Amino acid sequence: DIQMTQSPSSLSASVGDTVTITCRASQNISKYLNWYQQTPGKAPTLLIYAASRLHRGVPSRFSGGGSGTDFTLTISSVQPEDFATYYCQQTYNTPPLTFGGGTKVEIK
């Protein structure tokens, strides 16, 4: 199975900061990498698919990059509603689909 490692596991940021989360795959997954946001008590929602494509309705302050084994999710000018947990997911080698362990973005 392909292992997905996210870093950091948590971070603190102030409103208006730029935040970057990293996701590393245990092998080359090309651009088969997706990002989800989850707020407490809610289902995850899709932010980015195919490494860099913004899902419809997602604010443009979210962006994704990378290919191969290393990927990033960047939130430019973090807003109060962005404080949540973020997960990466690889869909290159299915089954199984695998997720990273999550990154919790908290208010400083």
Alpha carbon of residue 108 to chain centroid:
20
Q: Minimum Å distance from CB 52 to another protein? A: 13
Alpha-carbon distance of 2 to 11, in angstroms, equals: 25
Please, which of residues 39-78 interact with another protein by CB under 8 A? 42-46, 49-50, 55
* Residue 13 vs 46, nearer CB to another protein: 46
Least separation in angstroms between CB 73 and another protein: 14
Determine, following the binding rule CB under 8 A, whether residue 79 of this chain makes contact with another protein.
no
DSSP classification of residue 97: P
Instruction: Write the secondary structure of 76-93 as one string of H (helix), E (strand) and C (coil).
Output: CCCCHHHCCEEEEEECCC
Write down the least CB distance from residue 4 to another protein, Å: 10
- CA–CA distance, 66 with 94 (Å, rounded to integer): 20
Binding site for another protein (CB under 8 A): 32, 34, 36, 42-46, 49-50, 55, 87, 89, 91, 94-102
